[in-house]
Amino acid sequence: MTDRPTPAEAARALQEAEHRRDQVFASVQESRWVAVVCGTVLFACLAAPDFFGSEATRWTSPLLAVLSVTYAVMLNTRRGSALLGRPTRLRRKEIAPRFATIARVILLLVMAAGLAAAFIPHPGIPLPYWRTVAGVLLGGFVIVFGRRSEQALLAVARRDRTEGKDLGWAHGGR
């Protein structure tokens, strides 16, 4: 390319930049073992009260909370991410603001539902070992579909090109 690229060269360079951006989204993934460990821990914590009595929730809930916080902290640090097998960290600005808002609302609703279930008395489910069944389903889902669902969510979360004017990507940009 010379000092002033021809229109064809400029178009090719823009395409290349877009392609590299696509590549970032496609490669945001961690090691398979992380999904296996997460799924197994989820299963163990959900199924524990069925085998060790309701006393088990005294340690399963704090354990899940501690592991969730540890995971979140690791994701936000370079060394932690490397340990999880994630070589990159996606920029927050790459995520569509609308998706981020919806995700936050859903997370808050799930947390509120969890708190409500813990403090509001409710009739037990008349199905033996229902927690184990739930653990198998949830844990199995995380192990089998965890990575694929992350990719699917990222595809939805991706900032639309027309939204990216401030990033210098949008057509008809600066």
Partner 1 sequence: MAAADFDPLLLDPTRLSIVSLLSGVQWAEFAWVRESVGLSASALSKQITTLGTQGYVDIDKGYVGKRPRTWLNLSGEGRAALEAHLGALQRVVEDSRRAADTYRATDERPSHG
Q: Which residues bind partner 1 (CB under 8 A)?
A: 1-7, 10-11, 13-14, 16-17, 20-21, 23-25, 27, 78-79, 82-83, 87-92, 94, 167-169, 171-174
Q: Which is nearer to partner 1, 126 or 168 (CB)?
A: 168
Q: Which is nearer to partner 1, 99 or 169 (CB)?
A: 169
Q: Which is nearer to partner 1, 90 or 134 (CB)?
A: 90
The pairs formed by 153-162 with CB atoms below 8 angstroms and a separation of 24 or more are 154/25, 154/28, 154/90, 155/25, 156/99, 157/95, 157/96, 157/99, 157/100, 157/103, 158/25, 158/94, 158/95, 158/96, 159/93, 159/94, 159/95, 159/96, 159/97, 160/96, 161/18
Quickly list DSSP for 144-174: HHHHHHHHHHHHHHBPPGGGGGGGT-STT--
CB of 22 to partner 1, least distance (A): 9
Q: DSSP secondary-structure letter at 124? A: P
Q: Which is nearer to partner 1, 14 or 118 (CB)?
A: 14
CB of 74 to partner 1, least distance (A): 11
- Length of the chain equals 174
CB of 98 to partner 1, least distance (A): 19
CB of 126 to partner 1, least distance (A): 49
Q: Which is nearer to partner 1, 27 or 68 (CB)?
A: 27
CB of 86 to partner 1, least distance (A): 9
